[in-house]
Amino acid sequence: MQASSQGVTVVALLADPDAPTEIAKRMSRTLPARLADKSGQGRRFDIEVISEPFTSGTEDPPALMRRIIDRGSAENWDIVVALTDLPLHLHGRRLVADMSHEHGLALLSLPSLGGFRLQTRARRAVEEAVLGLASPQPTEPEGSPRSQLPLESVDGRLTPVHPSPVGEKESADLRYVISGPRGYLRVLFGMVRANRPWRLVPGLSKALAAALATGAVATVNSTVWTLADSLSVPRLIIATVGSVALMIGWLIVDAQLWHRSAQGSPEARQRARLYNVSTVLTVGIGVLVCYVGLVAINFVWALFILNDQVFASMTRDPLNATDYWTLSWFVASTATVGGALGSGLESDEAIRAAAYSKREQERRHMLQDEHDG
């Protein structure tokens, strides 16, 4: 892809709403200067960020490539890099990027970049894609572009990203996939990162209200004081694991978050397992954040409300710092169970909105509509 007649290469970052758009906007501040420095030859780049749900209704990479080609042909863009937070699969492989030098476009699946340092990895991948598309491409004897885009080095030598064959009738002429156990974990953590599990905390207002109310009442209950004072650390750990697991299970079952594939192919089952594991991790991280918050709130409440003389008369032990922590810990487990019951007051849509990215919500809506139809 060559620069436009004005000597400026116009690069469009076509991003799905929510996280991909935020990532695209952040990188657009520094991308022109970085691309100009790396490309040399006095070339300049103009970056445009377009936020629209280009993946709506399909997860098929070839179909998305055709959709991006149609979108780009209607605009005065030299290069189009599309960013989505949906994990893309093709022929049983997890897709990192599809590229078409002929049309000057690239499709990048952000979950394949992992869950850590996502902004940096995404910026490097976009830089390499743009530079690869902007440079003249030598061809192999068969006429296909030579694999020169070093996406394998976006995250170091040990990254499990490697080129993959492309079908003759496909729009893409260069494809990168991710494979192996490390590749699976990388996509999984990327999916959890895309769901942003910390948003589960403010998204479950009724469940949190029930948990806080349960904790406030339990903290002033003398029977709870006695139980907490008698529990050993292993039993407190068991109470924590049990209450958190109950909360996770209840949220997944009550809001119907478990993914069931309508297809019986091994690829469909593998994809369903990946989605379900990401759901458990997303909800689990959100519940753990809630649990830690409950421990902290209960500790502050106990400091304010407990009287050492009354506590000692009920438990026959003087009140000390260890008792505050033990009571707060045990009450947090009790409150988490109360929160699980309170989550039943939340609508399924509210829980899904708190647990998933917008693209994942739309994907699940589409699957539900197909199932109901």
Q: Are 77 and 48 in contact (CB under 8 A)?
A: yes
Which of 271, 194, 191 shows the shortest CA–CA distance to 17?
A: 194
- The pLDDT, as a whole number, for residue 269 is 77
Residue closest to 272 by CA, chosen among 164, 369, 367, 372: 367
Token pair, residue 97, equals: 């990027």
244: confidence class by pLDDT, cuts 50, 70, 90: very high
For the question of whether the overall pTM of this predicted structure is more than 0.85, the answer is no
Instruction: Compute the average pLDDT of residues 289-311.
Output: 89
Please give the pLDDT value at position 137.
59
Checking if the pLDDT of 318 tops 90, the result is no
CA 136 distance to own-chain centroid = 35
Mean of all residue pLDDT scores within the chain: 81
| Alpha helix (H) residue ranges in 76-163 | 118-134
Residue 52, Cβ neighbours under 10 Å: how many? 12
> Do the strands 44-51 and 93-100 form a parallel or antiparallel pair, or are they unpaired?
unpaired
Under the banding of pLDDT at 50, 70 and 90, the label for residue 139 is low
What is the per-residue pLDDT across 252-271, written as a single tens digit (0 to 9) for each?
A: 887 778 877 666 667 677 77
For residues 197 and 190, the model is more confident at 190
- 181 pLDDT exceeds 70? yes
Q: What are phi and psi of 173, to 5 degrees?
A: -120, 0
What pLDDT digit, counting tens, does each position of 340-362 carry? 777 665 666 666 665 665 555 56
| Residue 196 C-beta-side C-alpha neighbours within 13 Å | 17
> b/e for 224-262, b at 16 or more Cβ within 10 A?
bbebbbebeeeebeebbeebbebbbebbbeebebebebe
pLDDT in tens, 196-216: 787 777 777 777 888 888 888
Phi and psi at residue 309, to the nearest 5°: -70, -45
Nearest residue to 330 (alpha-carbon basis) of 304, 299, 285, 286:
299
